[in-house]
Amino acid sequence: MHPDLVAISNLWQADVRVDSLRAEHERLVATVNAAIQTHKDAVVARDAAKAVLDATKAEERVNSRELDSYVQKRDATKRMIDDGSSPNYAATERQLANCIALVDELETKGLDLLDRLDAATAGLAAAEKALATAEADERAARQALGARDASLRVDLTAALRAREVVWGELPFDYQTPYSELRRRKRVALVNVEEGNCTVCHMRVAPQKLNEVQMKRAVHTCVGCGGYLLPG
Ligand SMILES: [Zn+2]
């Protein structure tokens, strides 16, 4: 390789190393943040499931009490008819029919409430299970970050220092174009395969590639601006 291309290549490798360490750190932090959010959402879902269960229980208690009172009323009314103690037979008959209808209605509602209690209980169990999983995932994510954090900082410091050294070895004329490639998040070194740049697929003039291979010159791809490797 042309000595200038060697310098560019060294700098690019140092930058790839820095980028990969930063990306690793970002991934670990993003995993922790996502786990924290999932945990928060799971707490909200658990609280909501608990509220549904509590409300259904309360509704069931009210219904039960009401049912008990109408059963008593129905039985008392029936006794009045059976033992002939009713002062107004027709009115008592109407009252009995009324009580029987209400007891029937409350019993039907009671059965529906039992179904809803089952569903709410299952809902709470599922929400608690999801919460336990979310808590475990958050712990694991925090541990993964904690286990790598210190060494990652050491690695990054070393990688930045190494980058500084190779930056100092880059001939001045390449500094601005190289920095521009980095700013635009472009690949600084590109391969040529079958006459085309492997990054942007633009055709590379054979003369250019030839000069790169003969170490006579440093050339960039006209499409993406990456420095051509001899292949
Ligand atoms: Zn290209």
For ligand 1, the distance from its centroid to the CA atom of residue 49, given in whole angstroms, is: 56
Give the pLDDT confidence score for residue 136 in this predicted structure: 98
Give me the number of domains the chain comprises.
Answer: 2
Give the pLDDT confidence score for residue 231 in this predicted structure: 83
Pick from 116, 135, 150, 121: nearest CA to 39? 135
Reported pTM: 0.77
| 220 & 115 share domain | no
For ligand 1, the distance from its centroid to the CA atom of residue 199, given in whole angstroms, is: 5
pLDDT band at 163 (very low <50, low <70, confident <90, very high): very high
For ligand 1, the distance from its centroid to the CA atom of residue 211, given in whole angstroms, is: 17
| 127 & 226 share domain | no
Q: Are 156 and 25 spatial neighbours (Cβ–Cβ below 8 Å)? A: yes
| 134 & 183 share domain | no
- In terms of residue numbers, what domain contains 151? 3-169
| 22 & 98 share domain | yes
State which of 149, 169, 189 marks the end of a domain. 169
